[in-house]
Amino acid sequence: MNPELSFLAFAGLGVGFFVLLWFVATHNRLIRLRNHIQESWSNVDVALQRRHDLIPNLVNTVKGFMAHETATLERLVQLRNQVAGQSGHSDARREAEMQLGSALGTVLARVEAYPDLKSSAAFLDLQQELANTEDRIAAARRFFNANVREYNSAVESFPSSIVAGMQNAKLEEYFELSQLDVRNPVSVQI
């Protein structure tokens, strides 16, 4: 056997092994990143569920003080029930969560007109719990979005995009506020 051919065959096997090793490593990286997204969404989901659990307590506490604001409170309960029936990180869920956050912000802003409610110990405790929960949601959402960013970068960048295309990997959506009115402070006029 010709020594040049055996060297070329050995070099070809080496290159082939390197390509196979790179493919497997890239494939596993994409799977790991997708799993990070699912895990981080679970963290968002837990924080959102905590908010959903606190809303009925808020409504019950506020009801007696804000008797003529029943439409606002009923809208909050309706949105909470709508969101509670959804799972996963779909566009519909994101939109419903944004509406729920906006309605919750409106109720909390309207509390300013009720000094007795603002001084109620139960309401103050509940308001603090909701503030902590909103902070948890924001932190979980940032973590989720960071994982989405890393995954999307891997899916779109060359050469890992080759493996992503072979896996039919799709870009993930960020969990962000898409409505401009939700980003603005709540305007309250009573």
What residues does each domain of the chain span?
Answer: 31-181
**Is pLDDT above 80 for 74?**
yes
What is the average per-residue pLDDT within 158-186?
76
Q: Which of 92-106, 129-143, 149-163 has the lowest mean pLDDT?
A: 92-106
CA atoms within 13 A on the CB side of 95: 3
Q: For residue 177, what pLDDT is reported?
A: 62
Structural fold of domain 31-181: de novo design (two linked rop proteins) (1.20.1440)
Where do runs of H (alpha helix) occur along the chain? Answer: 3-63, 70-84, 91-110, 115-118, 121-156, 160-166, 180-183
Number of neighbouring beta carbons within 10 Å of residue 117? 19
Read off the tokens for 8.
Answer: 């070329």
User: What is the average pLDDT value for the chain, to the nearest integer?
Assistant: 83
Backbone angles phi, psi at 134, to 5 degrees: -65, -35
* pLDDT tier at 178, thresholds 50, 70, 90: low
Residue 125 to residues 62, 63, 131, Cα–Cα distance (Å): 13, 16, 10
Q: Is 120 helix (H, G, I), strand (E, B) or coil?
A: coil
Angle 140-143-149 (CA atoms, 0-180°, nearest 5)?
140
Closest CA to 103 of 74, 125, 132: 74
Burial status of residue 17 (CB atoms within 10 A of its CB: 0-12, 13-18, 19 or more): exposed
Q: For residue 185, what pLDDT is reported?
A: 46
**Cβ partners under 8 Å of residue 28, min gap 6:** none
Rounded-to-integer distance, Cα 181 and Cα 96, Å: 14
